Amino acid sequence: MRQLATKHNWIGGQWVPSSNGETREVRNPSNTDEVVGVVAWSTEKEIAAAAEAAQEALPAWKKLAGPARARILAKAAQILAGRLEEVATLLSREQGKPIGEARGEVQRGVDLLQYYAGEGWRSVGDVIPSASADTLMFTVREPLGVVAVITPWNFPVAIPLWKSAPALIYGNTVVLKPAADAPLTALAIAEVFAEAGMPPGVFNVVTGPGSKLGDALINHEAVKAVTFTGSNAVGSHIAQLAAARGIKYQLEMGGKNAAIVLADADLDKAADIVVSGAMRFAGQKCTATSRAIVERKVIDAFAEKVVERVRALPVRPATDEEAYLGPVVNQSQREKILQYIETGKGEGRLVAGGGTPQGELYAKGYFVEPTVFVDVLPDATIAQEEIFGPVLALIPAESPEHAIEIANGVRYGLSASLFTNDLTAALRYIREIEVGMVRVNAETAGVELQAPFGGYKASSSYSREQGRAAIEFFTQVKTVAIMPAGGP
């Protein structure tokens, strides 16, 4: 078999191997016989080198005019667009996202780069009327310094870019530590920035073991902020490290997103959208629909429609154009999901899926059948905990108010949707639902990059990403007052 060349870390504008020479294979979760690539399995030394390179690059990058930084991001957008098919295929092979969605994600990356290139031309402060008529008072937003970007495996183009692009455009430098399950895509982003003319050290990527590298990065004295997306367990650990050092932090974490279906809803349309939200990318989106809370009088009819659709879903290797869902990302994730399904069998009635698909096509991948439970109680384990797999729980509700109460009865608060034609019910839901992203007659997953993204409760650290909200995290405000030298 052909030996694949190791992809090294991108540090200070150079490809740098791990100092201990260690590497790791990245295997295709659709077919684990296939080695997609080999990456450096780095140490704290490479983290320190990256943080120092970012620190060194900071003064010149910070000093550049916004439009000059914008030109580099715009160029990166153009280069990524030119590599869309190649990067989408890599992403699909590396972490099992169906190829159609992988293309959509790379296009999202292009759009994010374009959007934040535009930010380089926009205002970074306000003029404020002073109490003294001769005084010019204004604010200016300045970068924080070196920013640590720690990302999950599920959106390996979009999430690193929706964090790095705003960090960079506002004048920060970046060390990206991608998830161990999707390092190759992150290194492709480094190639794109390098080709776009990003000065050495402004953007760095170090691959390797999450906990060791993550901790070393947050604890490095050059790092002034950390932006994290991932699980709650790791997020709260990061918050503690960041608080102990007094650096700024931002956490986007888990979800247990509900779709509420009221009796007057178009049940066919709602079933299409709920199935899509629950099953696309095998439910591995933080905004995936994992509970459908349905008014009791229509729950049987709705369940029938959902089950009919779920049974017909094409489960395929991720690069197959037909794939609606592919595998889950790795063996431990599959075991965890199957364990939840076992628990669910004691908590509700299994009406679709419930195991692993059989046949040669699935023999070497981490596939899980799209699974549906009905008659689930709101406090069941599968109705409370984030499963992060293709598992949907249908929960009956006695009224629209009861449905909102159930939807709010979890620790998370990322996104929710409501299906109805009743404007009054929709307005009440918008007021009372405890989530950061509220949808009406739309999927819980699927957000737009120009709008704030983030959750309530345990889903977030009260911060928001994307759109104009990004400026809040990636900058600090300086208030300036200028008075005539001789006094008024």
Active site residues: 252, 286
Please identify which residue in the block is written with the tokens 């040669």. Answer: 360
The contacts of residue 282 (CB under 8 Å, 6+ apart) are 96, 325, 326, 327, 328, 368, 370, 389, 390
- Contacts to ligand NAD from residues 371-400, by CB under 6 A: 386, 388
Q: Which of residues 203-222 bind ligand NAD (CB under 6 A)?
A: 210-211, 214-215
237 interacts with ligand NAD by CB under 6 A: yes
Distance CA 181, CA 152 (A): 8
Q: How far is the CB of 436 from ligand NAD (least distance, A)?
A: 9
Phi, psi (deg, nearest 5) at residue 287 = -100, 10
175 forms part of the interface with ligand NAD (CB under 6 A): no
Which one of residues 37, 166, 201, 230 is an interface residue with ligand NAD (CB under 6 A)? Answer: 230
> How much is the CA Rg of the chain, to the nearest whole Å?
24
Q: Which stretch binds ligand NAD (CB under 6 A): 65-73, 250-258, 306-314, 335-343?
A: 250-258
DSSP 374-423: ES--TTSHHHHS---SSEEEEEEESSHHHHHHHHHSSSEESEEEEE-S-H
User: Out of 231, 381, 384, 476, which residue is the one contacting ligand NAD (CB under 6 A)?
Assistant: 231
Q: Does 109 bind ligand NAD (CB under 6 A)?
A: no
Helix 158-169 and helix 66-82: axis angle, to 10°?
160
Q: Does residue 3 belong to the site contacting ligand NAD (CB under 6 A)? A: no
166 binds ligand NAD (CB under 6 A): no
Angstrom CA distances, 472 to 60, 141, 464, stand at 22, 9, 8
Least Cβ distance, residue 477 to ligand NAD (angstroms): 25
- Identify any residues that bridge with 31 across adjacent strands, giving them in sequence order: 28
Q: 267-326: which residues touch ligand NAD (CB under 6 A)?
A: 286
445 forms part of the interface with ligand NAD (CB under 6 A) = no
Minimal distance in Å, beta carbon 235 to ligand NAD? Answer: 7
Of positions 31, 92, 151, 227, contacts ligand NAD by CB under 6 A = 151
- Chain-centre distance of CA 11, in angstroms? 24
Helix ranges, 6-65 (H): 44-63
Contact flag: residue 161 with ligand NAD (CB under 6 A): no
Q: Is residue 265 a contact partner of residue 452, using CB atoms and an 8 Å limit?
A: no
- Indicate whether 193 belongs to the interface with ligand NAD (CB under 6 A): no
The residue among 159 and 298 lying less far from ligand NAD, judged by its C-beta, is 159
Q: How far is the CB of 238 from ligand NAD (least distance, A)?
A: 5
d(CA 415, CA 67): 35
Instruction: Return d(Cα 373, Cα 31) in angstroms, integer.
Output: 28
Q: 446 by DSSP, 3-state: which?
A: coil
Q: Which is nearer to ligand NAD, 79 or 206 (CB)?
A: 206
198 Cβ contact list (under 8 Å, min separation 6):
72, 76, 168
CB of 285 to ligand NAD, least distance (A): 7
In this chain, which stretch among 1-9, 12-20, 176-184, 335-343 interacts with ligand NAD, using CB under 6 A? 176-184
* Site track for ligand NAD across 68-107, x = CB under 6 A: ----------------------------------------
- The closest of 27, 38, 39, 25 to 317, measured between CA atoms, is 27
What number of chain residues touch ligand NAD (CB under 6 A)?
30
What's the closest the beta carbon of residue 304 comes to ligand NAD, in angstroms? 30
**Site residues, ligand NAD (CB under 6 A):** 150-155, 177-180, 210-211, 214-215, 229-231, 234, 237-238, 252-255, 286, 386, 388, 414, 455, 459
